[in-house]
Amino acid sequence: MAESDGATRLWGGRFAGGPAEALARLSVSVQFDWRLAPYDLLASRAHARVLAGAGLLDPDELGQILAALDDLDSACAAGQFRPVIEDEDVHTALERGLLERLGALGGKLRAGRSRNDQVATDLRLYLRDHARGLAVAMVELADALTEQAARNVDTPAPGLTHVQHAQPVTFGHWLLAHVHPLLRDLDRLRDWDARAAISPLGSGALAGSSLPLDPAAVAKELGFTAPAANSMDAVADRDFVAEFLFVTALIGVHLSRLGEEVVLWTSTEFGWVELDDAFATGSSIMPQKKNADIAELARGKSGRLVGGLVAVLTMLKGLPLTYDRDMQEDKEPAFDAIETLGLLLPALAGMISTMTVRVDRLTEAAPVGFSLATEVADWLVRRGVPFREAHEITGQLVALCSVRGCELEDLTDDDLKTVSGHLDPSVREVLSVQSALASRTTPGSTGPGPVADQLALVQHRLDSWREWAVEKVVPR
Ligand code: ARG
């Protein structure tokens, strides 16, 4: 190897000297792909056993290599072995560590594999493992929302469309409407995981190996369901990164919608929710301020989560098979998505679980803005009036109230009769938020009954996620 500068390189043989500094600086990835080290070491152990099975390492050599890999693993975990900037990437750094421990014997492990199948394997392992951690944090946020929902099963609130008062809803129902997207995201993670559980090892650089390797054994040892069926696809494929980033981008979008609502709910104009001091921030100049920065960061960070997906899709577009160095750009967005959500989700969970719901303000706001008008129209429909006509009649009542500056229940018996012969004073029975909510009894609707049923369903589904989230990806 041409290592005149003393650096370990995996490709020095045909080169007269070391790389130009500008190239080395551009090409180095160890500052971020070092996160893959524990997974690279796992894959190396599996590969060493396969080489021994093929007769390419004798039992003594296998023992020495496994012991050195264990030692290197502990040294990495303890921070005693660290990458240096001359280590182009994580694979180079770990080979250096092995050579330091074993001398020439350390060079035997590279037989039959390439950084191309290694890096694809490492990243799959890393993402599958971290998907579990992400699921744990998602379940914690879903729990926080569900617990608040349980406390507000019959708290009335003004349901909005176009941010205008539409119809009364229960606040519990509203909070649970933020849990269902998270449950779908969790479903997406598990579906993604099944497709990501394919092992690229054995594919080598692109063409497989002339050595008698055992890709199925490696796959099994690393917790994959099967080895890749096509070695070229195995090293060229980054669908698993793009799909993962789609899931994290969509999680970001969901969190941004929740964040935006919390910003509204905590505003002086709404005043529906008060944040706990520990989960709100102040202003350096305005002493009265209490800001929902967590909610705003949820809104803001959705940008980088969506950006990561777009970066990887754009990087992959038009890329010829098989491996191209462009693909080194797959890692930072993936790491960033995991780290961003790792910060955001616990903060959101804490903010939601400690916030105080202002039941008085919500109850007061629920009927405002003629939100009970649809009840009148439905009342007319139950009396045989075609909905088109019922809508028209109710619209006239609202117009009359607007002129008078009063609410629907303030209209006199005469007013009702003047607007339509179909109306009579008994219509006032439906002009209460309580009756509007109590009448919503069909499954999935906003009445306290169906919301209690929904709550049980959501809690049950979250329990099944708790089990998946602690599953080990690699049986150790
Ligand atoms: N650092 C590289 C990456 O992340 C590892 C694979 C390099 N392979 C190669 N043939 N240069 O993609």
Q: Using one digit for the tens of pLDDT, what is the confidence trace for 320-352?
A: 999 999 999 999 999 999 999 999 999 999 999
- For the segment 3-26, the average pLDDT, to the nearest whole number, is 77
Of all protein residues, the one whose alpha carbon is nearest to atom 7 of ligand 1 is 115
CA of 245 to the centre of ligand 1 (A): 20
pLDDT above 80: residue 13: no
Residue 236: both structure tokens together: 């060229």
Quick one: average pLDDT of 67-71? 98
Given a contact cutoff of 8 angstroms between Cβ atoms, the answer to whether 291 and 283 are in contact is yes
Res. 475: pLDDT tops 80? no
Residue 2, pLDDT above cutoff 60: no
Q: Average of pLDDT values for 2-15?
A: 66
pTM (2 decimals)?
0.93
CA distance 149 to 244: 29
Atom in ligand 1 nearest the alpha carbon of residue 89: 1
Residue 5 has a pLDDT of 60
Percent of the chain topping pLDDT 70: 99
pLDDT, average across residues 115-137 = 97
Distance 90 CA to ligand 1 centre (A): 10
pLDDT at 227 over 60: yes
Q: What pLDDT, on a 0 to 100 scale, did the predictor assign at position 154? A: 96
Q: Residues lining ligand 1, CB < 6 A?
A: 29, 33, 89, 115-116, 119, 323, 325, 327-328
> Which candidate in 162, 210, 284, 460 is catalytic?
162
pLDDT at 206 over 80: yes
The token duo for 272 is 């529906």
Q: Specify the ligand 1 atom closest to the Cα of 91.
A: 5
- pLDDT bucket at 18, cuts 50 / 70 / 90: confident
Residue 191's pLDDT band, with cuts at 50, 70 and 90, is very high
pLDDT surpassing 50 at residue 414: yes
DSSP one-letter string for 294-351: HHHHHHHHHHHHHHHHHHHHHHHTTPPSS--GGGGGGHHHHHHHHHHHHHHHHHHHHH
Listed by start position, the domains of the chain span 21-111, 116-365+455-469, 373-431
31, 118, 119, best to mutate for ligand 1 pocket (most atoms within 8 Å of CB) = 119
Active-site pick, 4, 74, 283, 426: 283
Report the nearest atom of ligand 1 relative to the CA of 205.
10
- Which one is the CATH code of 21-111: 1.10.4160.10, 3.90.650.10, 1.10.275.10, 1.20.1530.20? 1.10.275.10
Please give the CATH architecture assigned to the domain spanning 116-365+455-469.
Answer: Up-down Bundle (1.20)
* Active-site annotation holds for 283: yes
DSSP 252: H
Average pLDDT of every residue of the chain: 95
Q: Fold for domain 373-431?
A: Ribonucleotide Reductase Protein R1; domain 1 (1.10.40)
**pLDDT recorded at residue 4:** 44
Ligand 1 geometric centre to CA of 324 (Å)? 8
Atom of ligand 1 nearest to the CA of 323: 10
Nearest residue by C-alpha to atom 11 in ligand 1: 325
Mean pLDDT of 19-37: 95
DSSP 168-203: EEEHHHHHHHHHHHHHHHHHHHHHHHHHH-EE-TT-
Question: Ligand 1 centroid to 329 CA: how many Å?
Answer: 10
Q: DSSP assignment of 410-433, as one string?
A: GS-HHHHHHH-TT--GGGGGG-SH
pLDDT score recorded for residue 1: 36
What is the residue with the minimal CA distance to atom 12 of ligand 1?
Answer: 328
**Out of 208-222, 283-297, 419-433, 451-465, least confident range:** 283-297
- Find the mean pLDDT for residues 160-188: 97
Over residues 19-27, the mean pLDDT reads 92
pLDDT at 285: 80
Least confident of 241-245, 449-453, 462-466: 462-466
More confident residue, 85 or 117: 117
pLDDT tens digits along 419-434 = 999 999 999 999 999 9
